[in-house]
Amino acid sequence: MISNLAALPIVIPLIVGVLAALFHKKLKLVRVYAQVLTLINTGVVAYILFYVHQNGSVVLESGDWMAPFGIVLVADMLSMTLVLTTNIVAIACIFYAPKSLSQKQEEFYFYTFYFLLISGVSGAFITGDLFNLFVFFEVLLMASYGLIVLGGEKVQLRESMKYVLINLFSSMLFVTTIAFLYSVVGTVNMAQIAERVGEVEQTGILTTIGILLFFVFGTKAALFPLYYWLPKPYIAPNPVISALFGALLTKVGIYSLLRVFSLIFVHERDVTHEFFIWIAALTLIFGSIGALSTNNIKLVVAYNIIPAVGFMLIGIGVYNSTGFSGTVYYLVHDMIIKAALFLLVGAVAYLAGTSDLRKIRGLIHHYPLLGWMFFISAFVLAGIPPFSGFVGKLVLLQGAMEADRIIIAIIGLGSSLLILLSVIRIFIRGFWGEKDESITPNRNAARGFIMPVAFLLFFSVLLGVGAEWFYPSIESIGDYLMNPENYIESILKE
Amino acid sequence: MLFAVFLPVLLAIFIPFFSKWKEKIHTGYFVLLAPLSVFIYFIPHVGNDFSPISQSYNWIPSLNIGLDFYLDGLSLLFVLLISGIGTLVTFYSIFYLHKSERLDQFYVYLLIFMTAMFGVVLSDNVFVLYSFWELTSISSFLLIGYWNYKEGSRYGALKSMLITVFGGLSMLGGFILLSIITETTSIQAMMEQADVILSSEYFGLILALVLLGAFTKSAQFPFHIWLPDAMEAPTPVSAYLHSATMVKAGIFLVARFTPIFSGSDWFFIFVSGIGILTLVWGSYMAVRQTDLKGILAFSTISQLGMIMSMLGFGTSVAIFAAVFHILNHATFKGSLFMIAGIVDHETGTRDIRRLGGLATLMPISATLAFFGTFSMAGVPLPFLNGFYSKEKFFEATLEIHESSIPFANILAQAIPYLAVFGSIFTFVYSMYLVFGTFTGEQKLDQLKKKPHEAPFGMLISPIILVLGVIIIGLFPNSVNSSFLAHTAEAIYGQPMEAKHIQFWHGWIPPLYMSLIVVGVGVVLAFTRKSWNSIYSFFPGKLSFNKVYDFLVDQSEKASAKITNMYMTGSLRLYMALILIAILVCSFSVLWITDGFAFDTSGLAEITVHEVLIALTMAVAAICTIFTRNKIAAILILGVVGYGLALLFVIYRAPDLALTQLVVETITVALFLLCFYHLPNLRERTEKTSQKWINIVISVAFGTLMTVVAISAHSTKLFDKISDYFLETSYKLGGGDNVVNVILVDMRGIDTLFEIVVLGIAAFAIYGLIKLRNKKEAE
Amino acid sequence: MEIIMSILAGVLFTTGVYNLLQKQMLRIIIGTALISHGAHLFILTMGELKTGAPPILEDNIELYTDPLPQALILTSIVISFGVTSLLLVLAYRASKENGTDNMEKLRGNEND
């Protein structure tokens, strides 16, 4: 009975989303409905996380088909932490949405896509079955396709084509790779795959299959040299949608990498994980260079997704408990701050009437609160204490240095500076400077934008200043990932 | 101590309320409360019987990060400096900043800075120290950018932040390494493991990283370039942050780690070498400046270099002199900054070329300036504290330890000469500063305002500081054993005798050095105009500012260049790059792990009709490339799809075959529907090279897939879980068609969400079509 | 036979990728369709071919083919169908709206 808890974070948004389609034109109703149910779902997820924290992982064998034969849903600390973060981001977005979306966009099933996106993301975090992971990937991708084309602007359609095509290709590669893996180990249950791959010490073709999977997830996670599709399509739709994408989609990719390369393909680390370190370094370097390359403030934030993913890959590559903890902490941090930043630059672009930094100045005189929130976000992003980014970065770098990976740690530090420069120049040029008298401040709109961002920043500060409330749990996730037999046993309990 | 550290920020929370009454009472009066009470709290610790105190509060124990405060002689000196000068500067700012300014912002930043600075000097935990360290950079950024409508302010703010945060980050790297090697985050505990650190393979790196932090913060050569631009800040800020306190954080850091690092000759080479270089360069450049605050900025750089170099010597004399000079510098430089602010305030300019002869108009300021500059120049007069520490410095330069590294010995030989050289220029700019401003011809017509003496309130703070100069000068031993000795001991790492300070030592080398400085200095100061032209060709065009500007400028331009090279928006390029990456890496891994396998046992037999179907499909697939008619292309694609359905039939998959047939039919119809209105397929007009690249990539990719597939098929290592499905399908699932039972029962979630995917697609398509119609209708 | 099927699937991938690297939208979409056919063929092949009867239980039959890959392919076919349909409509709309079906002309620049 209690094991059904694991399905709730997937099922609730699914049902809610489908129902939302029934009264999609009654905007006032559907807004309140969406907001209330997002809050309720968050409450449920928080309870499940609490339950898992107290009692250990909850494993649901769907349809009572015992693992590894049926599909298992695994609510462990890692997946539930991420699902909860997803929902926190969702709350901010759902309250921001009415202010930012056009009436038509709302009417054309924004809320349905939104809930199904949440459902798909949660499913991807929770499932314990590789093929089912593919299915949830498709759910969240399809919802994202629906969101990215919402509105049907010229730019959107153009960028959506690229987005859909590259993701479609990587999905096809994903199913093919699952088939290869099935041929070798005869199963699609992740725990059993892990067990079997371990038994044969990851011989023969298995490592190559692992690398193919790395490319599948790496494309979703936007790693070097696979991230080309990310920046432009992410800024084409409405800021709310950008925020959902930036916060959630790439993170599902990095989560999958974390799961698969801590659980399954861990026996040829000289090849795979060594390779990750290099990829991480290149991702950090090219990502931060990208962030500096543009004067489009939305694009700056979109590019900043990339080095963050590079950071998280460090933790996977160094393969120690500290590194894993760092990756998880950074993952939570990054989901929140990326959403906040996308919402912020969305608000700035809306209020200033342009997203070209060269045309914006002196905004702080009109919108002081917005300015200071941006200022804080810049430091959160760059990992300056006492905010969440610092804790994540510190633990990651500790992990790297414990593993004698000094160079990657130094690259990480260096890219922090570039990241800071890339966002602080928005503050200096866009917010500082002489007051732009041509703008008539729209304080009402600004207030609507500020609350959701403040909500997110509250968590960024909390995760930094109050790190002690979170870190011990995250640290235990790190240990848990280092010992995959825990995961395997909890599912295949024979 | 916790309360003392955080008192300023607590007060900062209330500043916005206080500032509501700023018309009646200047907000600065409330602010005074914070530094003054901290000063009063700590001053009783001064005394002969001082012993270190530590207090700990939990913060993030699971990461070994705690608010561990440690008060020893070193931190006591700094806390008193920060709170003492802080009080005076705040008081001064009350008269300096007009009520019409945004006082609330100014004081909030200032209070944040105070907390940050107290935190830096009191923290024993490296990560907490780092946190406060970055906070000083941030608050300094905000204070420099206080008048951010000025281009110069924004430039200076960014510059200072980039350079100091760069240093901060590298310091963090050093701290993490230190904490991993010693398994502690406490500096005091690290000191006990100094030998472990010194013998670590990473010692060189740690030293470099930590020193980078210190050098950037303390504006050491070549990172000094941010300090002159930081002078865009309001003068109280320059006096406080950029002279007396924040820039000394780097000195503090080096001092803090001296007990650990001083065992290494590299520490001497870096710290003393860079320090003495900074001393020479800073004083040399100061003479060139025309802005009063510019002169003071370079002067600060040079004095910081001097203190830094003394820490590098590591001898007890040197350390004692360094400590003594930290105190003295704060007194005379603080007062000079305030005088510069007064001159600026009263005349409307800080350009020394437009000033002159102000002594008659501003007699008190002039007198104060004379004391300050003469003390800075190290003029041998018994009532100037600067002379004493300068002479101790000379003494220290002559007593540097022998080293095993030849370069260190050469450096040690050169240091006394460099010290004298730098001090001569110090003398010159000191004289230039005071005489240029207060004597000579008056140029009142070039001033915006008619100058007169500053209001008395504004003079109080500099007067107190100058009194400090004189009192320490007259009674140099008054602060000695009760105060400075503790500080020096904390840096030296072991008990040392208090150095007795006296005016007359007899005819000894340091005195000769002082006399040379004064003698040559007087000559150069008088003839300054005749040799000033050396600055036009040295340093000339190559300055470190240009390097910085180039780097920042290029960080955007080069980034844009690099990024635009591959982020072209071309889907084809993106796909090609992704595919190449996959190909290169996968083939390499296949090669490295020797993954290829080929096993023909147990394969299904080859039959003619299957081969024929396969051939047809392959040919059809290839034809899609060559056909130029869109309808034909779509139909040929259909051939592949129907061929696949046939294969499904042959391979005992009836459900699949049916589904494939239906889906293929609908898809072809959709294709036809959507592309009916679009232009026909065109001749491909690409270059042959592009074509070959495409061919190579696609063939390679197909090969990769086939090779991995064959290898995977040839390495069947385990039984499949499907046997279980066959066994239980009827028993537990109640169905004969196993595929169906799997779909609706065993893997029901897949199927549920597969339907969801279809549903979302339907909504999305509906939206795509519908939203267009509306727009076109409009 | 599995070898031949693997090669056929490889050919489908090759032609699919080649089409994907073209400029014209229609060709690109044909490419994706070919790739998904290839992927499905791979899944089927990986489950071993013709090892027994169709997986519909009947008395006195002992050997069946592997049912799981078939189930996976079914799911995948339906999903590909959904994505392909969306892609088709999207391509149609994108080309109408932008006035070209040449992807190389749909690059865009920094600020739009």
Domain boundaries, chain A: 2-492
B vs C, Cβ pairs < 8 A, gives: 274
Cβ contact, residue pair A63, B564, below 8 Å: no
Cβ contact, residue pair C75, B750, below 8 Å: yes
SS3 A443: helix
Residue at B673: amino acid letter: L
Domain boundaries, chain B: 1-261, 266-558, 572-717, 720-778
Question: Could you tell me which residue, A35 or B513, shows the higher pLDDT?
Answer: A35
Cβ contact, residue pair B681, C90, below 8 Å: no
Measured at the CA of B327, the angle between CA B321 and CA B328, to 5 degrees, comes to 80
In this predicted structure, what is the pLDDT of residue A119?
96
Q: Enter the ipTM.
A: 0.95
Q: Which band of pLDDT confidence, cut at 50, 70 and 90, is reported for residue C1?
A: confident
Cβ contact, residue pair A292, B761, below 8 Å: no
Where does residue B393 fall: left (phi above 0), alpha (psi -120 to 50 degrees), or beta otherwise? alpha
- Taking CB atoms and an 8 Å cutoff, what residues of chain B touch A492? none
Q: Which band of pLDDT confidence, cut at 50, 70 and 90, is reported for residue B778?
A: very low
Cβ contact, residue pair B765, C57, below 8 Å: no
Pairing, β A72-75 against β B65-71: unpaired
Q: What percentage of chain B reaches a pLDDT higher than 70?
A: 97
Query: Which of C8, C30, C44 is facing B633, going by the closest CB pair?
Result: C30
Q: Which residue has the tokens 């620049």?
A: C109
Residue B676, pLDDT above cutoff 70: yes
Mean pLDDT of B587-601: 88
Q: At what angle do helices B73-96 and B28-42 cross, to 10 degrees?
A: 160
Cα–Cα distance list, C51 to A50, B650, C46, C47, C65 (Å): 49, 12, 12, 9, 5
Interface mutation target, options C6, C90, C101, C105, chain A, most CBs of A under 10 Å:
C90
Q: Are A111 and A90 in contact (CB under 8 A)?
A: no
Mean pLDDT of B680-697: 81
- B122-149 confidence digits (pLDDT tens): 999 999 999 999 999 999 999 999 998 8
Interface mutation target, options B598, B756, B768, chain A, most CBs of A under 10 Å:
B756
* Cross-strand partners of B65: B60
Cβ contact, residue pair A145, C86, below 8 Å: yes
Residue at C23: amino acid letter: K
Q: Is C98 on the interface with B (CB under 8 A)?
A: no
Residue B777, pLDDT above cutoff 50: no
Right CATH number for B572-717 from 3.40.50, 3.30.70, 1.10.530, 1.20.120? Answer: 1.20.120
- B179-235 confidence digits (pLDDT tens): 999 999 999 999 999 999 999 999 999 999 999 999 999 999 889 999 999 998 999
Mean pLDDT of B330-334: 92
- B431-457 confidence digits (pLDDT tens): 988 888 888 888 777 777 778 888 888
The alpha helices in B378-455, defined as continuous H runs, are 385-397, 406-438
Q: Is C97 on the interface with A (CB under 8 A)?
A: yes
In this predicted structure, what is the pLDDT of residue A444?
84
User: DSSP letter at B356?
Assistant: -
Closest C-alpha to B88, from B464, B471, B468: B464
- Taking CB atoms and an 8 Å cutoff, what residues of chain A touch B732? 65
- Taking CB atoms and an 8 Å cutoff, what residues of chain B touch A212? 582, 586, 708
Worst-scoring range by mean pLDDT, A357-361, B459-463, B602-606, B738-742?
A: B602-606
Q: Which chains touch C (3 or more CB pairs under 8 A)?
A: A, B
C-alpha B448 chain-centroid distance: 39
- Taking CB atoms and an 8 Å cutoff, what residues of chain A touch C39? 172-173, 175-176, 179
Considering the domain delimited by C2-50+65-100, tell me its CATH architecture: Orthogonal Bundle (1.10)
In this predicted structure, what is the pLDDT of residue A165?
95
Give chain A's residues under pLDDT 70.
Answer: 1, 494
In this predicted structure, what is the pLDDT of residue A434?
86
Q: Are B69 and B124 in contact (CB under 8 A)?
A: yes
Q: Is C61 on the interface with B (CB under 8 A)?
A: no
Residue B303, pLDDT above cutoff 90: yes
Q: Which residue has the tokens 């990339």?
A: A306
* Cβ density class B445-483: b for 16+ within 10 Å, e for less: eebeeebebbeeebbebbbbbbebbbebbeebeebbebb
Question: Could you tell me which residue, B525 or B584, shows the higher pLDDT?
Answer: B584
Q: Is A207 on the interface with B (CB under 8 A)?
A: yes
Contacting B residues, span 275-334, partner chain A, CB-CB under 8 Å: none
Residue B248, pLDDT above cutoff 50: yes
Residue B734, pLDDT above cutoff 60: yes
- Taking CB atoms and an 8 Å cutoff, what residues of chain A touch C47? 179, 182-183
Residue B498, pLDDT above cutoff 70: no
φ/ψ of residue B607, rounded to 5: -115, 155
Q: What is the mean pLDDT of chain B?
A: 89
In this predicted structure, what is the pLDDT of residue A439?
77
Our CA-based measurement puts residue C13 at a distance from the nearest CA of chain A, in whole angstroms, of 10
Q: Is B663 on the interface with A (CB under 8 A)?
A: no
Question: Could you tell me which residue, B510 or B59, shows the higher pLDDT?
Answer: B59
Both tokens of A200, joined, read 């044969």
Our CA-based measurement puts residue B570 at a distance from the nearest CA of chain C, in whole angstroms, of 6
- Peptide bond just before A225 cis, omega within 30 deg: yes
Cβ contact, residue pair C8, B617, below 8 Å: yes
Q: Which band of pLDDT confidence, cut at 50, 70 and 90, is reported for residue B684?
A: low
CA Rg, chain A, in Å? Answer: 21
User: DSSP letter at B71?
Assistant: E
Our CA-based measurement puts residue C63 at a distance from the nearest CA of chain A, in whole angstroms, of 17
Q: Is B774 on the interface with A (CB under 8 A)?
A: yes
Closest C-alpha to B38, from B119, B105, B142: B119
In this predicted structure, what is the pLDDT of residue C81?
94
- Taking CB atoms and an 8 Å cutoff, what residues of chain A touch C87? 164-165, 168
Query: Which of B606, B720, B761 is facing C85, going by the closest CB pair?
Result: B761
Q: Is A212 on the interface with C (CB under 8 A)?
A: no
- The DSSP annotation for A170-191 comes to HHHHHHHHHHHHHHHHS--BHH
